[in-house]
């Protein structure tokens, strides 16, 4: 905050980790790690940003949820719980802060071609074909695909949008 002169207009929480294990075998240490990185840190960043934004009556907070905020995961119980929590936290913060000038929204990426999904991106993985066939856009998303939603939510064009969880998924949810 010192580098920003103590002021902040926009916060985008774009970080996360994932660990894969069957629910019955999921190590508690990894559960805690995923929840701390993917949910607790998001809350703490929003809380600190909210203190600054609420004082001046303006701010835009953008969280990154997931398609797992809408439906099941597979071998990712901690990730699914954390991202579901991010979606609910986004809505709760809207209830607390929108009337005081702070918009809080989430972007829910679909299947993205990222390091986190490296195993799923392998055409030899049986899930690769089933996932790919369900994406009407005909491809997995990239970081570039996230820009439009982020710019919109950070701008005055979204001043009457808050508590939304916006899918950026190539149409995956509608198929």
Among 79, 111, 160, 172, which one carries the catalytic annotation?
79
- Look up 172 and say whether it is catalytic: no
Which pairs from 38-45 meet CB under 8 Å and 24+ separation? Answer: 38/78, 38/79, 38/82, 38/83, 38/85, 38/86, 39/81, 39/82, 39/85, 39/86, 39/89, 41/13, 41/15, 42/13, 42/86, 42/89, 43/89, 45/11, 45/13
Among residues 7, 8, 11, the alpha carbon closest in space to that of 41 is found at: 11
As annotated, the active-site residues are: 79
């Amino acid at each position: 905050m010192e580098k920003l002169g103590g002021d902040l207009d926009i916060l985008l929480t774009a970080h996360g980790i994932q660990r894969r294990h069957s629910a019955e075998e999921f190590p508690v240490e990894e559960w805690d790690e995923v929840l701390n990185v993917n949910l607790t840190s998001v809350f703490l960043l929003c809380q600190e940003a909210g203190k600054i934004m609420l004082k001046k009556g303006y701010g835009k907070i953008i969280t990154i949820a997931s398609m797992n905020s809408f439906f099941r995961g597979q071998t990712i119980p901690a990730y699914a719980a954390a991202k579901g929590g991010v979606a609910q936290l986004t809505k709760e913060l809207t209830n607390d802060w929108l009337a005081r000038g702070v918009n809080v929204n989430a972007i829910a990426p679909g299947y993205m071609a990222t390091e986190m999904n490296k195993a799923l991106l392998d055409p030899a993985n049986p899930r690769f074909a089933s996932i790919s066939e369900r994406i009407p856009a005909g491809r997995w998303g990239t970081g570039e695909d996230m820009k439009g939603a982020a710019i919109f939510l950070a701008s005055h064009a979204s001043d009457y949008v808050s508590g939304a969880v916006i899918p950026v998924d190539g149409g995956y949810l509608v198929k």
